[in-house]
Chain A
Amino acid sequence: MNLYVGLPDSEILQLLTSISRELVCLHESDGTYLYVSPNAKSIIGYEPEELLGKNPYDFFHPDDRRLIFERSHQPILKGEEKINPTFRFQHKNGSYLWLQSDNRLIVHPTSGKNYIHTSSRDISEKIESEANLALSERKFKTLFRDSPIGLVLTSKQGFIDEVNESFAKFLGYEIFELLGKHFSDISSEGELEENLRYRDSVQKGMIDHYAIEKQYIHKAGHLVWAYVTVTVLRDDSGHPIYYLAQIIDIDERKKTERLLLENNEHLKATKNSLLIQNKQLQSYNQIISHHLRAPVSNLRSLIDLLKLTKSEEERIELQNHLEAVTESLETTLSELITTLKIQSLEHYHPEWISIRDTFAKVEKLMEGELLKKKVQIELNVIDKETVYVSKDYLETIFLQLLSNSLLFSEPSRTLRIVIESFSIGNETTISFSDNGTGIDLSRYGDQIFQMKKTFHRQMSGKGLGLFLMKYTMESLGGRVEVKSKPGEGATFFLYFPNQGNNL
């Protein structure tokens, strides 16, 4: 049997076991050490001599003794093979090591006595790292499952691998209903493009995480706002394996935000309308002072004079004046009532009105005068251009502007009128230009739209048209501007809001 001639069996054994990383021992059937390999010192801290005659049960961790006895020691004695117990063994320094053994039964060929042969290695490091891994996995699982924040793990293709209860609940699903879905199935169209753009940047390794506000589709069909932070988990070579999304419910916040914005808009509109109303009230104050109080004080003066006079001739003269003042007062009153009617918008029925058609109708109405004066009209308006206004209003405005231009045309040249329209944002603008006498705006700019203001001595304009036009425009939420140079004509800009009025 001995191939190594000249070397006793024991020395060969010594040689082999000393270079091995395994602790090799021979035990009596009750466990007592008969042989301990020389590397014992480096593994368990004891010299072999310190262990001979002792029983390993004294070094096993108390919790493991019973296990070793029942699962390893006994079965071996019964002849079972491949027994590989893992157990804790106390090092000489007092700490416990994790050992794993190959144990087998050796029967003496002559005496038939049972021995146990063990070959053990220190697996403490492996056990610890496994334990740590298991622990961190357990920690992650617990965190994932119990987090109040919605968590979703998606594959790099975007399919949902895992979701937690918070997220499922947020969207009204059961967890299992979400598994396997693609994240775009539960995302609203709104922010999807942005989301995909970010994922693409992650895929290319440009970024490792991103955060967006997006809307998910709730199981019930409505959209819910969420703040989503997505982190990528990469493999060792840097390729994304998983995306972990953390989802915070910000639906309430968003709704409040939207409400605030709406309220803000509403307040702005109210403020504007109040500003306009305030201006209109000031204007009314002026009107009442000049156009009502003035004739009334004339009436008072005339009546006072009437009382004093003794001449029949003078009495008749005063009576004629009284009549004239009363008539003009009646006219002024009815004009005021007209403006009040416009302002109240009681009969205001706005619709989308074609600028081109309306102007054509007004042009037709004034055909005679336009032909007589050989007026050139250029209408640069797109066929489909419309404004949101009542038909009568737009007709009246065009009538006013046309008669204004005719009234203030420069006799030395052909009257040319250009009408253009353009839309910017929520506003459609109509510009109305002529090459008439124009208005000195540095002098009359603040008066042009006031009641009964005329700027041309030779003209007997009532000064009501522009005033009414401004009122009309402001009442329906728009405005009017004028640009002009004396001698070069005037351009009126009418700004129409595209959705109803703000009043």
Chain B
Amino acid sequence: MTPRICIIDDDKIYQFTTKKIISNAGITGEVLVFSDAENALFFFQEQSQNVSKLPDIIFLDINMPFMDGWQFLEAIEPIHKQFPKPIQIYLVSSSVDEADTERAAKIPYVSGYIFKPFTKEKLLDSLAHLQS
């Protein structure tokens, strides 16, 4: 199985380690990486009907400069339902603030909340939900 994975996070080290974790987990597909949420948004707007380009799962960082995770979620809401395939969105954050997790729980198109550090187990867990 080769799910298309998308990472949106400005932290270069995180990008590097997450990509490593994904490849170590034996997932060979292309990993989409965006350092900037707004650029990611442009991508989704452009490719909103392109099944082959759209990812199956998004790992979205909350805390980013310029456009943060919440703003990205808000911006993607109108096109989220129109995607030709289901796309799971996971929020990824180092924040253990309950306010953040509670806020995430209220957004229906957010599948889960992952605390950093991102690990192989967390990755496989979220992909398992994808298959079911």
The verdict on B14 contacting chain A, using a C-beta distance below 8 Å, is yes
Taking CB atoms, residues of chain B closer than 8 Å to A289 are 63, 93-97
Cα distance A452–B95 in the bound complex, in angstroms:
15
Label chain A's interface by main secondary structure: helix
Residue of A nearest to B65 (CB): A454
Once the chains bind, are B119 and A301 in contact (CB under 8 Å)? Answer: yes
Give Cα A305 to B19, complex, Å.
11
Total of A-B residue pairs, C-beta within 8 Å: 68
Task: Give Cα A293–Cα B20 distance, bound, in whole angstroms.
Answer: 20
B94 touches A286 (CB 8 A): no
Task: Out of B17, B36, B97, name the residue touching A301 (CB < 8 Å).
Answer: B17
Q: A285 contacts B97, CB within 8 Å?
A: yes
User: Which of B16, B93, B94 has a CB less than 8 Å from the CB of A321?
Assistant: B16
- By the criterion CB–CB under 8 Å, are A298 and B65 in contact? no
Tell whether, in the assembled complex, residue A298 and residue B117 are in contact, meaning their CB atoms are under 8 Å apart: yes
Contact A308 B24 (CB under 8 A): yes
Q: In the complex, A18→B93 CA distance in Å?
A: 127
CB of B83 within 8 Å of the partner chain: no
A290 touching B13 by the CB < 8 A rule? Answer: no
**Contact A298 B96, beta carbon cutoff 8 Å:** no
Expressed in whole angstroms, the Cα–Cα distance for A211 and B20 within the complex equals 87
Which residues of chain B come closer than 8 Å to A295, judged between CB atoms?
Answer: 13
The complex places the Cα of A63 from the Cα of B66 at a distance, in Å, of 114
Is A293 within 8 A of B13, CB to CB? no
A321 to B118, CA, bound (A): 16
Nearest Cβ in chain A — how far from B14, in angstroms?
A: 6
- Report the separation of the CA atoms of residues A290 and B97 in the bound assembly, to the nearest whole angstrom: 10
* B77 within 8 A of partner (CB): no
- Which of A293, A297, A302, A305 is most buried by chain B, counting CB atoms within 10 A of its CB? A297
Complex: how many Å from CA A457 to CA B37? 11
A298 near B14 with CB under 8 A, answer yes
> A286–B95 Cα gap in the complex (Å)?
7
CA gap between A27 and B94 in the complex, in Å: 130
Write out, one digit per residue, whether chain B residues 9-34 have a CB within 8 A of any chain A CB (1) or not (0): 00101101110110010000000000
Q: Are A325 and B36 in contact (CB under 8 A)?
A: no
- Is B85 located at the chain interface by the 8 A CB criterion? no
A 284-306 binary contact with B (CB < 8 Å = 1; else 0): 01100110011111101110110
Give 27 pairs: A residue, B residue, CB < 8 Å, sorted on A.
A286-B95, A286-B97, A289-B96, A289-B97, A290-B95, A293-B96, A294-B14, A294-B94, A296-B94, A297-B117, A298-B11, A298-B116, A298-B117, A301-B17, A301-B18, A301-B117, A301-B119, A305-B17, A305-B21, A305-B24, A447-B68, A454-B65, A454-B66, A455-B65, A455-B66, A457-B36, A457-B66
A interface residues (Cβ-Cβ under 8 A, vs B): 285-286, 289-290, 293-298, 300-302, 304-305, 308, 321, 324-325, 443, 447, 452-457, 463
Q: Which 8 A-B pairs have the closest CB atoms?
A: A297-B117, A289-B95, A297-B116, A293-B94, A301-B17, A294-B94, A300-B117, A298-B13
